[in-house]
A and B are shown apart, each in its own frame.
Chain A
Amino acid sequence: MELKFDRSLCEKCGTYDCLTKCQYLRLDREGARREIMKLINREDSFVLRECVTCYACEEYCKKGNHPFYLITELQEEKGILPVPKPILRQWINTGIPTKRDPQHFPFAREPVLSLCLFPEFVEELGGRLFEGFSIIVGRHFFCQLAYLHFGRPSIIKERLPRIIENIARHGFKEIVFFHDECYSTFTSYARAYGIEVPFRPVHYFEHLYKRLKELEGEIRPLRVRVAYQRNCSTRLAPDKEHYLDEIFELIGVERVRREYDGENALCCGGIFRLQQRYDLYVDVQKRNVEDMVRAKAEYCVFNCPMCYYMLAEGVSKAGVRPIMLHQLCKLAVGEPSR
């Protein structure tokens, strides 16, 4: 599995958006060019140590040349550790299946929803929005993408084929993925590494939108102002984000215009904390939340459960209500959100 990387694209780039737009490294064009050249020559660069793994450069690079995936390859090659060793070990171990993780869901039929490592959402992901869905969940279906945060793409490469096989064994043609990272794994990451994916990944935005459209007559517009917390992995596959705005329109929700949205979004900070960058963690959360408050958001809508876990308390303390997207959609069709 080799990264589909074309160095000539970087050599001819000229704008080096990946690094000049980086919200954390603050490089000018000349500095960016210098560091890019080091990276494409597989040399050491401070970028490898200072990268906060927000995934944004994947989005910034308009040539689709995977600068972030390259960074992770180089980190591993050079033995650079974005997080302390014991933290890395915990995360590696967390993906090891236990006796409680089923390898197969014999009664699962399409339509099927994958919950990855988040079984706590099984009950909530019911009601009319997910009527008739079977669920697959557990470590045998864990997308592994998180290891990009830890500079260990080898783990993804080692485990992903088995994960794909576990899914494929069920014979599903289409799977809806609750976890944004799963969707990015089976689209962006798989493509970048030439991994074959024998099913069509459907993002839960797409499913929610289509289902809400079916229930359009029963929707009671919520008429609230929401801030959207844009998570890291959505930047790997932003193609499905239009569904989000379509959902918001359907359910009568206004996505407030604020500084830290879209390409300029700020991370939830969870990974920064794991990197032991406590000041940065506090800073991004503060700026992000203050931005939501300034924009008079009543809710902060989360796409990713990890973002929710890391940021919900801070959001809540500032007087903005944290809510997962599916919970918001449930409210719109008159179902209890939890």
Chain B
Amino acid sequence: MRSVKKEEIYKALVEIVGRDYVSDRKEDLYIYSRDPGLEEAHEPDFVVMPKTVEEVQEIVRLANRERIPVVPVGASLSLSGLTIPYKGGIVVDLRRMDRIIEVNRMGRYAVVEAGVTQGKLKAYLEENFPDLCHSLPEAPPSATIVGNLVIHGQGHLAQQYGFNSSMVTGLEVVLPSGDVCRIGSCALGPYWFSVEPFPVPAGLFLGWFGATGIITKVGIRLYPRKRLRDVEVFVVEDPKLVPEVVYRVAHTEMAEDLTTSAQPYPPIYQGIVMIQVYINGDTEEELEFKRRLIWRSLKEIIDAKEGGFMALTPDIRGTLLEEPIPTLTRFADVLRGGGFVYCGAIIPVEKFPEALKRLFEIAERHQVTFAHSGRVIGRGHCMMFAFAYPFNREDAASMERAKKALDESYIATLEMGGIPWKPDLSAQRMMIERMDKGAAELLKRIRKLLDPNGIMSPANWGVEP
């Protein structure tokens, strides 16, 4: 952008949000050029931090007038570069919009602004509505609710209630035109209880990584939070047993979260897969009832000595019961290097053994260390299977290896018929190339329809390079 133009735009942005909340300083742009993953950095022209919906609208209108890209961001923790301003432009950091607007207890929903963090909502509910919780992902508590929704994230209630994005009860969106709209019951009245059966789908704005508009408010379902919570860890050696274990446990409908993990090191993890089965209850009786049903559901596998429940020591149990579990974040320090990337593959549960095999092969091929963590979605309709690779920021070779392993993991995902979750740009391209032609066409048309000037997160789901 020419410097005269830049000056003008800068002034216009200052007009909108105030001097304190716009920046074109190198240092600020540096941070927003990149995320903690391995994608290439690209500098934006501006960073702006609006407080109100009106400010967001003004910013978008300005961007439309001047044809400048706009990239909405939360905490930028996708690790796939979804918030990197590949085409420059204005990064809109939404985290000043951090009000919890409403919690409707009887309706079990909350309405929050785009910048509310996972941690803030969790703390607020614990204090004020202790029998309600939201589906909390394993991301750091600094991650935003909306950020997680726009990537179709999953939280600890995934096995019971599905993707977090299916828990949306209403949206307020600033469209690429700068107009604001509401979707769901909130479009007809003061309540945010449901998006169905409203004709305009919330899905127009979920999973698009900002390409169709900026979500400024969201309604999400809250679920019963019980007083007690515990976890059982079932261990198998043969990955082929995992789908059966998942099927049986899901059938009981007694489990809360259902997650998997496998890693090559330390030795205690070698050669096994662990399935974490979470249970909750308001009384010991309820908890024990659920526990016994779950144990019973796996009786055959246990009797055949092919699988068993661990006896957890308090420190392991304590870690597994943390909300969120910090060990996932700590994976970034495995190589004392400050980073990791992962391909979250959404795959059928029956593909688990193949996915695990491929993970081992990919890691071997690229000589990288790795870990797997997974989460069952719904009653085993699918699962998130993560191929995770740590890297060391001071070691370019380790970064390169991790990136290659990551790329291959996306390929493996598609080969298995899975959907890459929150894919980076190259994985997005692979998906577009591979997907049903009708769908690819629809993708293009919806974008064009909603964003004719191509200003909203233009890199994401873009068909051109």
Q: Which residue numbers of A lie inside 8 Å of B, CB to CB? A: 81, 83-87, 89-90, 93-94, 96, 98, 120, 270-271, 273-274, 276, 278, 309-310, 312-313
Contacts and interface: CB of A to CB of B under 8 A. Distances in A.
Given A93-B268, A98-B267, A85 B306 contact: yes
Nearest to B266: A98
B237 A273 contact: no
Interface in B255-280: 265-272
* Closest 5 pairs (CB-CB, A-B): A84-B308, A96-B267, A86-B235, A93-B267, A273-B311
Contacts of A96: 267
B309 interface: yes
Given A84-B305, A276-B309, A90 B268 contact: yes
Interface in B307-334: 307-311, 313-315
Nearest to B271: A89
B455 interface: no
Given A84-B308, A85-B237, A271-B311, 11 more contacts: A83-B308, A84-B305, A84-B306, A86-B235, A89-B237, A90-B268, A98-B267, A273-B309, A278-B292, A278-B309, A309-B313
A93 B272 CA distance: 10
B268 A94 contact: yes
A249 B314 CA distance: 31
Interface string B295-311: 10000001001111111
B272 A270 contact: no
A274 B302 CA distance: 11
Nearest to B237: A86
Contacts of B311: 270-271, 273-274, 310
B314 A313 contact: yes
A313 B306 CA distance: 29
Given A273-B311, A310-B311, A312-B314, A87 B268 contact: no
A104 B230 CA distance: 39
B17 interface: no
Nearest to A269: B311
B286 to A, nearest CB: 16
Nearest to A281: B311
B371 interface: no
13 contacts: A81-B305, A84-B306, A84-B308, A85-B306, A86-B272, A86-B307, A87-B308, A87-B310, A90-B310, A93-B267, A276-B308, A276-B309, A309-B314
B168 interface: no
B236 interface: yes
A1 B315 CA distance: 37
A81 B266 CA distance: 24
Contacts of B272: 86, 89-90
Nearest to B312: A309
A90 B235 contact: yes
Contact of A87 (B235, B269, B313, B315): B235
A314 B17 CA distance: 58
Nearest to B265: A98
A310 B316 CA distance: 12
A84 B245 CA distance: 15
Contact of A94 (B235, B267, B308, B314): B267
Contacts of B308: 83-84, 86-87, 274, 276
A274 B306 contact: no
Contacts of A85: 237, 305-306
Contacts of B235: 84, 86-87, 90
B310 A274 contact: yes
Contacts of A309: 313-314
Nearest to A95: B267
A95 B281 CA distance: 36
Nearest to B299: A276
Contacts of B313: 309
Contacts of B237: 85-86, 89
Nearest to A282: B288
A310 B314 CA distance: 8
Contacts of A312: 314
A261 B301 CA distance: 36
A271 B309 CA distance: 11
A36 B12 CA distance: 93
Nearest to A120: B315
B227 to A, nearest CB: 14
Nearest to B309: A276
A86 B306 CA distance: 7
Contacts of B310: 87, 90, 274
A83 B237 CA distance: 13
A94 B268 CA distance: 5
A278 B298 CA distance: 13
B196 to A, nearest CB: 42
A79 to B, nearest CB: 10
Contacts of A81: 305
A93 B314 contact: no
A161 B105 CA distance: 65
A181 to B, nearest CB: 16
B109 to A, nearest CB: 36
Contacts of B236: 86
A276 B267 contact: no
Nearest to B236: A86
A86 B238 CA distance: 9
A312 B318 CA distance: 14
Nearest to A279: B292
B149 to A, nearest CB: 37
Interface string B224-265: 000000000001110000000000000000000000000001
Nearest to B235: A86
Nearest to B273: A86
Nearest to B284: A317
Nearest to B301: A84
A291 B172 CA distance: 61
B315 to A, nearest CB: 8
Contacts of A271: 311
A9 B287 CA distance: 49
Nearest to B291: A278
A168 to B, nearest CB: 25
Contacts of B302: 84, 276
Contacts of B315: 120
Contacts of B267: 93-94, 96, 98
